[in-house]
Each structure stands twice: as structure tokens, then as C-alpha cells.
A = this chain, B = another copy of it.
């Protein structure tokens, strides 16, 4: 088993979907990542920052999930990062209503001493220089550094983004972002260009259409489970990344073959995340539910053609 260190936001979200709306609830990339990774009972530390307004019960919740929160800085007289968004009817697009950086504006991440030798580092969506600072604090080169990012940083900090992309082994990015980053429409060509920027493994997330894992000329396609209803997509991408990293940490095997399994686990956990508002479904997720859904994934994708070369 490997240790996993995660940097990312721990935050308040307020969400509106066609199904209803929430007040400020627990959110943030590192929260979703940590909850997903906790399914694998690996040693996980979250590095983040919150304000004095952040409820102790939320921190307790993360601790109960065996997440090390010693790297979450609490700024007593500060306020916690707050994001509010509204999803359109198709649930694939959303408008950001509010972004209050608050304490996040001066976030200077500190990796706990115990985790400076973590084998796996997951850099959740944040300013690329903040992500880079986490990598630089590691006492030895991690076995696997995974980067999640988004179009916002391509628009506002592209040079810095390229610096961190160059340092990581895996990037997870959505299809539109892969196209924006490379100027290529074909995801196959886009993945090849991203390989040349640094990452040996490229994961392209396509939402309801699943995810693609590229490594050199190899490609693996994990579908998303077709769902009756997506209740709230918030955190699905982070949950995917957390499941991916958590499975790799648990199995201590970062081969391409094992990454296929990690992508399937990521997709499986993300399929739960969207069933309820915010973290609600992930907080209550039982391993027997995950087991059942993995069986569904097998049925969804596995076929029995016997190949005869004639």
C-alpha cells in the first residue's frame, strides 16, 4: 500500500440544479478526492486551507473517514473558499454564480512531515504554482504525480500550467480542455501532444460519455454508467480522480494495465457522486454498493467474441 497526499480546495458550495437547490454545504476538490480515496482505506492526507467559519463537524467527518487533516490550515479570522453554481437543464453546462476565494487567495500549502515521502501525489484543481509548491516539498520523487486542472488556468496562467504539466506522470482533464490545451479536435492527437508536454499517461474525462486513458499508443475506454438521472454533477471529476488515485495507492501498482482498473474504479465512484447533492452520497457509500456497481460495469463492457484469424 502507498501513501497518498492530495492538495486541493476544502470549501463551501451552494448548488442549484433542475431538481432543487442547497444552502452552503461541504464541497471542494480535495474533499471529493479524499472521500473517494477513503473507499480504499489507504493513508491519505489532504493539504488545504479553510477559514474560522468552517464547521468542526466537517473536519470531523473527514477524520472519521481516516483522512489525515493535519495539512488543512485553519485561518481563524478568515473565511472559507465559497463557490456557487447553477446547472442548466441538460446538466452538462453550468453557470458560476459566486466565487469567493477568501483564505484561498493566500494559500501556501504545507505537506505534513509524515507525507513528504508519499508515493502518490494528487494535485487537485488549483493555481499551477500552488500545485508545483506541493511537488517541491516532497522529500523524494513520488512514484506517481497526478495533475487535475481546468480551462480557467489555461486562460489565466498557461505558462505556469505548463511548468507543472512537465513535472507530472498523469494528467486528468476533460475533452474540451484537452482540445483547448492542444488546439487539436481529435482526442487521439490531443493526447499525443499532451504526452509530449510531459505526462506519460493522459486521462480525458468525457462526462456522461466516460473516460479515455492514453499511454503511448495504447488507449483504454471506460464508459460512464448510463444513469436514469444525474442529480448533481458537482465533484464527479474530483471523485473520479480520487478513486483513480486511491485504487493505485491501495494496489501499489502504477502499470498501464492496473491503471485501466483504476479508471474503472474512478468511473464507478463518480457514478455514485452524482446521485445526491454535494458529498451526501459519497459520505454514506458502503463497500457493498461499490461491489455491486463494479459488477454492473463488468456487464456493461465485457463481451465474449472469440477472435479467430481467418
Interface residues of A (CB under 8 A from B): 89-90, 185-189, 206, 209-210, 212, 218-223, 226-230, 257, 260-261, 264-265, 287-288, 291, 294-295, 298-305, 307-310
C-alpha spacing A118/B115, complex, angstroms:
68
30 intermolecular pairs with C-beta atoms under 8 Å apart: A90-B185, A186-B228, A186-B229, A186-B230, A187-B226, A188-B227, A189-B228, A189-B229, A209-B209, A212-B226, A218-B299, A219-B226, A219-B300, A220-B303, A221-B223, A221-B301, A222-B303, A257-B304, A260-B304, A261-B303, A261-B305, A264-B305, A265-B305, A287-B310, A291-B307, A291-B308, A294-B305, A295-B307, A298-B305, A302-B302
Q: A307: which of B90, B186, B298, B305 is its contact (CB, 8 Å)?
A: B298
Q: Is the interface of A mostly helix, strand, loop or mixed?
A: mixed
By beta carbon, the residue of chain B nearest A309 is: B291
Contact B221 A303 (CB under 8 A): no
Residues of B within 8 A of A298 (CB): 305, 307
Which residue of A209, A210, A295 has the most chain B CB atoms within 10 A of its CB atom? A209
Counting from the closest, the 5 A-B pairs by CB-CB distance are A221-B223, A209-B209, A260-B303, A188-B228, A261-B305
Q: A299: which of B220, B226, B230, B302 is its contact (CB, 8 Å)?
A: B220
C-alpha spacing A305/B187, complex, angstroms:
26
A sample of 17 more A-B contacts (CB under 8 A), given A257-B304, A291-B308, is: A89-B185, A90-B185, A186-B228, A189-B228, A209-B210, A210-B221, A220-B300, A221-B223, A222-B303, A223-B223, A261-B304, A287-B310, A291-B307, A291-B309, A291-B310, A294-B307, A298-B307
C-alpha spacing A42/B212, complex, angstroms:
35
By beta carbon, the residue of chain B nearest A89 is: B185
C-alpha spacing A189/B223, complex, angstroms:
18
Residues of B within 8 A of A300 (CB): 219-221
C-alpha spacing A66/B64, complex, angstroms:
68
